[in-house]
Amino acid sequence: MTAQNYLITGGTLPDGTTADVLVEDGLLAAVGPDLATPVGTEVLDAAGRVVLPGLVDLHTHLRQPGREDAETVETGTRAAALGGFTSVHAMANSTPVADSAGVVEQVWQLGREAGWCDVHPVGAVTVGLGGERLAELGAMAESRAAVRVFSDDGMCVADPVMMRRALEYVKAFDGVIAQHAQEPGLTDGAQMNEGALSSMLGLAGWPAVAEEAIIARDVLLAQHVGSRLHVCHVSTAGSVELIRWAKQRGIDVTAEATPHHLLLTEELVRTYNPVYKVNPPLRREADVMALREGLADGTIDTIGTDHAPHTAETKECEWTVAAMGMTGLETALPVVQLALVDTGLMDWAGISRILSSTPARIARLADQGRISPDGVFEIGAPANLTVYDPTVTRTVDPERHATKSRNSPYRGMELPGQVTDVFNHGHPVVRDRALATPRQQHQQNHQTGTTQQ
């Protein structure tokens, strides 16, 4: 058995100070300089590394049940742990769809059994993602999975009446609707960002207004009914401006950007390599810059990986028939460092905010005692910690990733930084850059039917 108590020494905290962090019985026992080492405590030297609150992803596709050839909860959460995530939200577009209490409880239980990180199922908004009837929102909220985030991701809730009803319904239990903003009538057959390049390549264009029109409608609906709206994978400069406008008017809207939309542009589509085919599509350089600025000034609240694993059969084929999506859990923090930290746009306190405390707040994890509301190292809180070395540089090799799928757009790219250690409720799931052991089942005491972040 590994030691139950740990002292992480000499690490740099998000605020830039150097301190030790003591973990006892799965909780944060002390934070400060030159802490004494209690008897029986294992010491981890974190000098030169950043110690962050465990990362939280609001947007992960784990594919199980039904798509185990592409990913499972086990393999997906192994990838999450290696990426520094102690909590992930599993999107509902599985087979069967997670539109009932039974399916979300199955996913929740699979996460507990895997033990690499906490898994919070996202419930579907409509039955079968069909957009015609509301799913069992209340039953999923009251289930052991305690669902608070609902999304038809992969499909837009295009009917405004249906969207209004969903926003009204989730108010009863402080839920949030996470919208995949894509007007279907404007994107039928779309293959890439609409513009001069799409015309040159002969690929059907995906206009920015298809995303922006839905965001404009939905922020007004959220204002009208007084409910919470979360916009998934924002990808255009116009979307950033709409969200900024809504926030200035006090509308309760939050938004996320993906790592790949912070770094990659439509120019990669010139290769016709379907690894770059994603929904929403890679946009222009100006959109990338607008997303970065939006994160830096707080308009965009968080990073969601939109980790979307696919089999080789569905991805390594002709562009027009290839599946949309990229893997991203294991490369998220290095990409964020490259796009935001190394460019001087954000410091590590900002990264802690957008990758830990804010997504936890949006998902109402803080309200259930899972993480301090402001993401700081709160004494007595569960010890969910990510130790990260920002000084190293690695070449991305998807063949070595823990995810089942290999559709990483960063293959062969040099990225900065590496997660070295991850503690999930005080248990080391990653040690010295490699998977260690999952949390023991006796540590997953879940008497009330809700997991801890």
Residues whose CB is less than 8 angstroms from the CB of residue 36 and which lie 6 or more positions away in sequence, other chains included: none
Cβ atoms of 101 and 94 closer than 8 Å: no
Which residue among the candidates 306, 347, 367, 432 is catalytic per the annotation?
A: 306
- Amino acid at site 38: P
446 labeled binding residue: no
Check: CB of residue 31 under 8 Å from CB of residue 25: no
Q: Is 260 annotated to bind ligand?
A: no
- Where does residue 36 rank: exposed (0-12), middle (13-18), buried (19+ CB within 10 A)? exposed
Q: At what angle do helices 208-225 and 160-170 cross, to 10 degrees?
A: 50
Please check if 59 is assigned to a binding site: yes
Non-local (6+) Cβ contacts of 270 within 8 A are 197, 201
Q: Which two tokens stand for residue 68?
A: 């185990």
Amino acid at 406: R
- Is 230 annotated among the ligand-binding residues? no
Is 279 annotated for ligand binding?
yes
- The answer to whether the annotation marks 233 as part of a ligand binding site is yes
Decide: 98 and 64 in contact? Cβ < 8 Å: no
Q: If residue 87 lies in a helix (H) or strand (E), which one and from where to where?
A: strand 85-90
Q: Is 306 annotated as a binding residue?
A: yes
Catalytic status, residue 397: no
210-223: burial string, b at 16+ Cβ within 10 Å, e else: bbbbbbbbbbebbb
Consult the annotation and say whether 63 binds a ligand.
Answer: yes
153 is in an annotated binding site: yes
Q: Flag whether 229 is marked binding.
A: no
Residues in binding site for substrate: 61-63, 93, 279, 310
- The catalytic residue positions are 306
Residues in binding site: 59, 61-63, 93, 153, 180, 233, 279, 306, 310
Residues in binding site for Zn(2+): 59, 61, 153, 180, 233, 306
